[in-house]
Amino acid sequence: MNRAIAVALFSCLLCLGQADDSTPASSNVRGAQYPRVHSDLRVTFRLKAPDAKMVKLHPAGDGLGKADVEMMKGADGFWTVTTGPAAPGFHYYWFNVDGADVNDPGSETFFGWAKQSSGIEIPEKGVDYYLPKDVPHGDLRAHWYLSKTTGLWRRAYVYTPPDYDRSARVRYPVLYLQHGAGEDERGWGIQGKMNFIMDNLIAEKKAKPMIVVMDCGYASRPGEQATQGGGGRGASGRGGGQNVVTAFEDVVMKDLIPSIDTSYRTLTDREHRAMAGLSMGSGQALQITMRHLDRFSYIGAFSGTIRNVDPKTTYGGVMADAAAFNKKVHLLFFGLGTAEDALMKTTHETHDTLEKAGIHSVVYESPGTAHEWLTWRRDLNEFAPRLFQ
């Protein structure tokens, strides 16, 4: 039997005997009826390609499945497939039409995997911490600044808490929050729902009102070429003894922080400055903060860790004196999904090594999630309430 027909028959068998309770995904473009999410979290995808010979659904990550799925062509020229139950959260995907990758015209696109990619939001039942609620909302602002390091204009996104414009004399602590490889400064505000997470935490008085700054993690000095972190998943937290001063590190320290402190009402001392990141961004956050403990006192690594850590030598030996390090760093936080098997092992090895050396750290495990945005939303929801207390 042709594999595409088999896939379609299997999808139909799943549907027999039950009404179509599917609804358009919340991530669809306005008015688009597909993709559709069923109550059991199966997803039906549809694409019109009447002249195509083969169409496949490509799940970019594990949330929709781990392999391409062949779709079946109908007499009307539409190719359709219904997947098995998807993992809750946000997932990238695209179609492969006769060998060419194309986005889904029914879905919004999101910058991920180093390109604009289709994405789908699968609802998480009974959970609303990252959804808009009837609470005061902060603003997400585009902040343009000229980088002396790169010689170019750069764009960061800045979240200001709900009372920022009404409390003209109040100054706020700042969290610098980085994306992963293949993504950019838009990721946390769009895919990550960062602003709604912060709005809800602040409204519930679980987190201090704070400014959150998200910049693009790629930078190069004049004459150099910046890598674009191909793919959507970066290295999970480099560490070890790395002490190379990167262009991005200089951007953060010499350009971004001064620009933010000049343009916004920030508290500029180290006690009120934090940095965190996911995947590739966790490695950036760890290196920058560890090399500049005179400027940061809270550190977060989401889906990233310090590999082969030696407290006496790692990051130039900043952890060699455990008591001094613990006094400076109020929080060293590692967050990851329990389905990130290899990272689970190395993160706990790092945590145990640090604990034996007398260095305090926190490990948060997101139940059942992998290297994906639901893990990082949960990480931020756990990390932010621990800041600036």
pLDDT digits (tens, 9 = 90+) for 363-379: 999 999 999 999 999 99
Residue 19's pLDDT band, with cuts at 50, 70 and 90, is low
Please identify, among 122, 153, 168, the residue that sits at the C-terminal boundary of a domain. 122
Whether the CB-CB separation of 251 and 215 falls below 8 Å is answered with yes
Task: Express each pLDDT in 124-175 by its tens digit.
Answer: 999 999 999 999 999 999 999 999 999 999 999 999 999 999 999 999 999 9
Averaged over 22-36, what is the pLDDT?
98
Residue 131, in any domain of the structure: no
Please identify, among 95, 122, 149, the residue that sits at the C-terminal boundary of a domain. 122
Same domain, 159 and 279: yes
For residue 224, what pLDDT is reported?
85
Residue 231, in any domain of the structure: yes
How do beta strands 69-70 and 55-60 pair?
Answer: antiparallel
Same domain, 220 and 283: yes
**The token pair that represents 338 in the structure block:** 């329990």
Whether the CB-CB separation of 373 and 183 falls below 8 Å is answered with no
Q: State yes or no: pLDDT of 64 exceeds 60.
A: yes
Q: State yes or no: pLDDT of 7 exceeds 50.
A: no
Same domain, 89 and 198: no
For residue 5, what pLDDT is reported?
43
Enumerate the H helices of the chain as residue ranges: 3-15, 187-190, 194-203, 247-250, 257-263, 280-291, 314-317, 322-328, 341-356, 373-383
For residue 62, what pLDDT is reported?
81
**What share of the chain has pLDDT > 70, as a percent?**
90
Residue 229, in any domain of the structure: yes
Boundaries of domain holding 44: 3-122
Same domain, 91 and 170: no
For residue 232, what pLDDT is reported?
41
For the chain, give the mean pLDDT.
92
Residue 127, in any domain of the structure: no
For residue 235, what pLDDT is reported?
39
Same domain, 99 and 143: no
For residue 6, what pLDDT is reported?
46
Same domain, 367 and 288: yes
Whether the CB-CB separation of 50 and 61 falls below 8 Å is answered with no
Q: In angstroms, rounded to a whole number, what is the distance separating the alpha carbons of residues 161 and 164?
A: 6
**Which residues are paired to 156 by β-bridges?**
143, 215
Residue 334, in any domain of the structure: yes
Please, what sign has the CA dihedral across residues 102, 108, 113, 116? Answer: positive
Q: In angstroms, rounded to a whole number, what is the distance separating the alpha carbons of residues 211 and 158?
A: 7
Q: For residue 242, what is the domain's CATH number?
A: 3.40.50.1820
Same domain, 228 and 366: yes
Please identify, among 87, 122, 157, the residue that sits at the C-terminal boundary of a domain. 122
For residue 226, what pLDDT is reported?
65
Whether the CB-CB separation of 113 and 232 falls below 8 Å is answered with yes
Q: Look at residue 333 and give its three-state secondary structure.
A: strand
Query: How many other C-beta atoms are found inside a 10 Å radius of the C-beta of residue 231?
Result: 13
287, 298, 297, 277: which is closest to 239 by C-alpha?
287
**The token pair that represents 253 in the structure block:** 């320290």
Domain count along the chain: 2
Say which DSSP state 134 is in: S
Residue 7, in any domain of the structure: yes
Residue 350, in any domain of the structure: yes
Same domain, 201 and 292: yes
For residue 61, what pLDDT is reported?
85
Same domain, 83 and 227: no
Q: In angstroms, rounded to a whole number, what is the distance separating the alpha carbons of residues 127 and 203?
A: 16
What's this model's pTM, rounded to 2 decimal places? Answer: 0.91
For residue 352, what pLDDT is reported?
98
Residue 245, in any domain of the structure: yes
Q: For residue 62, what is the domain's CATH number?
A: 2.60.40.10
Residue 236's pLDDT band, with cuts at 50, 70 and 90, is very low
Q: State yes or no: pLDDT of 229 exceeds 50.
A: no
Residue 32's pLDDT band, with cuts at 50, 70 and 90, is very high
Task: Express each pLDDT in 286-327 by its tens digit.
Answer: 999 999 999 999 999 999 999 999 999 999 999 999 999 999
Q: In angstroms, rounded to a whole number, what is the distance separating the alpha carbons of residues 26 and 183?
A: 21
